[in-house]
Copies of this chain bind each other. A is one copy, B any other.
Amino acid sequence: MRDVAILGVGMNKKWGELWDMSLRDVFVEAALNAVDDAGVDHLDSMYVGCMTSGLFVGQEHVGCLMADYLSTTPIPATRVESACASGGAAFRQGFIEVASGISDYVLVGGVEKMTDVSGDEATSALSAAADMEYEAYHGITFPGLYALMARVHMERYGTTSQQLAHVAVKNHKHGAMNPEAQYPFEVTVEDVLGSVMVADPLHILDCSPITDGAAAVVLCPLDTARKISKKPVVQVLASAQASGTIALHSRKDMAWIKSTNQAASKAYKMAGKGPQDIQVAEVHDCFTIAEIMVLEALALVERGKGGQAAESGMTALGGKIPVNTSGGLKAKGHPVGATGVAQVIEIIRQLRGEAGPRQVKGARIGLTQNMGGTGGSSVVHIFGAV
């Protein structure tokens, strides 16, 4: 296996309700930015992470579509789907392909166009990430599922609604420094607690939004990156993925994201690093409670202390371990298929020292965690400046 590096990264100018762009336009904008940043004149292969373009815009075969509109035919173009972890899973496939020696320059993008349907239709499309026959069919939605998880966490560890709110406050504070974010503004604990209740205890400001957006990166062998890159080189130190039960009711512990813990254990081992080495992390805060549980599963925070971590400032910029400096899914937006790739981009920018006002000073090691459903799929990557 060859060592792998990231040569270029690109996003849309801004995520949000991109009503003047179609699915292909959204993807191509981000992909061209990544190719430009990489400074390459050709690609060998590409992956597109996308969860449910079929249900959102009636389009499957999105690998082919994007290669066609990006003018990269005849290279292989493959779509990868693992619900909201589609972007992270696609990145892993790109990593494996470069590591294998089959391809040198691989573009990995992620995209979702979610605002062309009604809110009800979007909720329904997203529920396809749950167990359709045993969860969604009976009427539960994702806010409902995460609310159940939150209730268990609150009951067992004393986590409070205020602590949940602090996750949103932190991520919006970070997102306010990110011009690409969908909601680049700050909110207060009072704003969160006073916002409409979606599924008790989750208010609307505990939930990530519906977003149109894409993100893309270009991978290549580390040796190549050292030779041709005009930017600081960042290596993929580890790639790990794990699966769990798709349905929440099948789990022994509803407040523990086992697949994230298992993927993280493998990733730390592969990278030869531990949680104490991570200086910046982007994690899957689809709901505020998700960030709390994920940080515990990653061992970045002690089990049961995820709520306190947000409240204490430990996970804010300037804290012990800054989390979601991009604004996270909460403020940056959550175009589901793109999220896992966008997380990688934020970490690359941090390790390159390109994160501007939200830069974590001296960051050399970063981590991304992307998950699908209520944690049925988790993908963890560790990156290092070299």
Interface residues of A (CB under 8 A from B): 1, 22, 24, 51-52, 54-55, 57-65, 67-68, 72-83, 89, 92-93, 96-97, 99-102, 125, 127-133, 136, 240-247, 250, 258-259, 262-263, 372-373, 376-377
When distances are taken between beta carbons in the complex, the residues of chain B under 8 Å from A57 are: 132
How far apart are the CA atoms of A241 and B76 in the complex, in Å? 5
14 additional contacts, CB 8 Å, given A1-B100, A58-B132?
A54-B55, A60-B81, A61-B128, A61-B130, A62-B81, A63-B377, A68-B243, A68-B247, A73-B259, A74-B243, A76-B92, A78-B89, A79-B80, A80-B81
How far apart are the CA atoms of A250 and B59 in the complex, in Å? 18
Partner of A258, one of B59, B74, B101, B258: B74
Give the residue name and chain of the B residue nearest to A55 (CB). B54
Chain B nearest CB, measured from A381 CB (Å): 13
How far apart are the CA atoms of A376 and B60 in the complex, in Å? 12
Total copies of this chain within the assembly: 2
When distances are taken between beta carbons in the complex, the residues of chain B under 8 Å from A240 are: 76
* CB contact under 8 A between A64 and B100, given known A78-B93, A79-B80, A242-B76: no
When distances are taken between beta carbons in the complex, the residues of chain B under 8 Å from A52 are: 54, 60
Interface CB pairs A-B, < 8 A, 6: A51-B60, A64-B83, A64-B373, A73-B242, A73-B259, A76-B92
* CB contact under 8 A between A96 and B100, given known A61-B81, A68-B243, A243-B75: yes
Give the residue name and chain of the B residue nearest to A79 (CB). B81
* CB contact under 8 A between A77 and B377, given known A55-B54, A82-B61, A246-B64: yes
* CB contact under 8 A between A59 and B128, given known A68-B245, A244-B73, A250-B68: yes
